Homo-oligomer: A and B are copies of this chain.
Amino acid sequence: MTKPMGPIPAGFAADGDGMLLIGGKRADALAAQAGDTPLFVYYLGLVERQIVRFRAAVPGVDLHYAIKANSYLPLLKHVASRVDGLDVASGGELRLALEAGADAAHISFAGPGKRDAELEQAIAAGATLNCESEGEAERALAIGERLGLQPRIAVRVNPDFEIKGSGMRMGGGAKPFGVDAARVPALVRRLVEAGADWRGFHIFAGSQALAADALIEAQLATVALAAELAEAAGEEPPLVNLGGGFGIPYFGGEQPLAVEAVGAALAESLSNRAQVLGQTRFAIELGRWLVGEAGVYLTRIIDRKESHGKTFLVTDGGMQHQLAASGNFGQVVRRNYPVAIAGRFGAAPEEEVTIVGCLCTPLDRLADDVAMPRAEVGDLVAVFLAGAYGLSASPQAFLAQHPATEMVVGGD
C-alpha cells in the first residue's frame, strides 16, 4: 500500500525537460558541477525567504540562528550576515561562527557539558555563555578571574512548562538543560555580585512545533517567567532569548506553522510586558525553520531491483548522510520525508517503489512504498528538507562509504 510523504516545500519547480531546479539550476547540472553524488544543495533564496518572513511577522525581535542546524561554512557566512546573533553549542561551533564573520558580542554559547577549555575560549573571545548550572557558573567566574576578563553570562532557565506537542521537549520537569526556574534568581544575584556581565535569560521550551497556539502559549509563559525571575533577582535583563521551536512540516498531513499569528501574539505580549523588562531586547533562536526547507539531498540510483513483487531503487546515498530521513534520529515511527525523481519533477506517479541507500542494513531507507514516476539506474533522487540536521547529524563514517559533498546556490 502506498504510504504518504511529507510536503515538498514551496520554491522548487521543474524546467521544460521536467528536471528539478534548485535556485534556478538544474539538479543534474549541479551534480555534474559537484563532480559526484551524493550531494547536498542549499538554496540561499529559501533561507532568505524565511528571514524576510520572520522580519515581517515578528518585527522588533532579534533573530538568532542556531548553527547546530547547519554549519556548512558558505551557508553560515550568508546567514550570519543577515541575522542578529548566532547561537553555538560547542567550542567547535564557536570557531565556525567566528570564521563565518560573526561578532563575538552577538554569539551565545549554550550546552550542558561545556569543558573548561570551551569556557575559556568563549570568555576570551567575548561571546556570551548561556550558563547551564551553578557549577558551570562558578567555573566560568574562576576562569574569567584567571584571565583578567569579565565574562559575559546569561542564565539558561529550565522552565516549568514546555511547548505542547513539540517535536522535542526541552523544558518542563527534570532536565539536563538550564537551571530550574526556582534557583535562577539566586544565581543571577551571584553572577552580578561576582562582577560578571550578566546578559539576561535563555529560556528554551521546545522545538519543532507546528501549532501556533501552543507556541504562543509557551512564548507568553516565557515572557511572564522572565519578568518574574528578573523581579525576584532585582535585575533588569539586557536580553531575553525566548528560544525557538518554530517547526517545519516533514510528514504527510502536517501543516506549516502560522508564523504571523505567533508574531502578532508576541507583539501584543511584549507591548504589555512588565516594567522590569522595559529596556530588555528579545530574541528568537531558530535553526531548522530557517534552513531546513532550503536543502535538497541528491543521490543517484545505482540499481533498480524487484523482490517478491516490490520494486527497490537502490541509491548511492543513505542514512550515513540523512539519518533523520531514514527515521533514526529521535523518531519513534519511521515516516517518509518528501522525495522526488529529480528528472521527472512534478510528473504523475506511475509505480510504487521503496527507495533505499547503499548500506548493508535494513535501517537504510529513504522512502517506503511511495508513488513515483518511473525511474531508471542513473537517475537522481531528491530528498527534500535536507537543510537542517542532515549531513552533520548523520554517521558519515559508517561503512566507510563514499562521502557526500555540499554546495550552496544563490538567490536566483
Q: Which A residues are closer than 8 A to B by beta carbons?
A: 68, 71, 89-93, 95-96, 110-115, 132-136, 158, 168-170, 173-177, 180, 302-310, 312, 314-316, 318, 323, 328-330, 332, 354, 356-363, 377, 391-402
Contacts and interface: CB of A to CB of B under 8 A. Distances in A.
A159 to B, nearest CB: 11
Q: How many copies does the complex hold?
A: 2
A304 to B, nearest CB: 7
A307 B401 contact: no
B310 A112 contact: no
A217 to B, nearest CB: 20
Nearest to A169: B362
Contacts of A316: 113, 115
B114 A323 contact: no
Contact of A308 (B173, B177, B302): B173
Task: Determine the main DSSP class of A at the interface with B.
Answer: loop
Contacts of A158: 307-308
A315 B175 contact: no
Given A92-B399, A113-B359, 4 more contacts: A71-B400, A90-B358, A111-B360, A328-B329
Given A362-B175, A363-B168, A393-B395, A332 B330 contact: no
Contact of A177 (B329, B360, B399): B360
Contacts of A396: 395-397
Contacts of A180: 306-308
B111 A358 contact: yes
Nearest to A173: B308
A7 to B, nearest CB: 24
A323 B395 contact: yes
Given A92-B400, A93-B400, A169-B362, A112 B395 contact: no
Nearest to A317: B113
Contact of A112 (B89, B170, B314, B377): B314
Nearest to A113: B358
A360 B315 CA distance: 32
A89 B399 CA distance: 6
A302 B115 contact: yes
A375 to B, nearest CB: 14
30 contacts: A68-B360, A68-B398, A90-B399, A90-B401, A91-B400, A92-B401, A93-B400, A95-B400, A96-B400, A111-B359, A113-B303, A113-B315, A113-B318, A113-B356, A113-B358, A113-B359, A115-B302, A158-B308, A168-B362, A170-B362, A173-B308, A174-B309, A175-B307, A175-B362, A180-B306, A323-B395, A328-B330, A329-B363, A330-B361, A396-B397
Nearest to A327: B330
Contacts of A174: 307-310, 312, 354
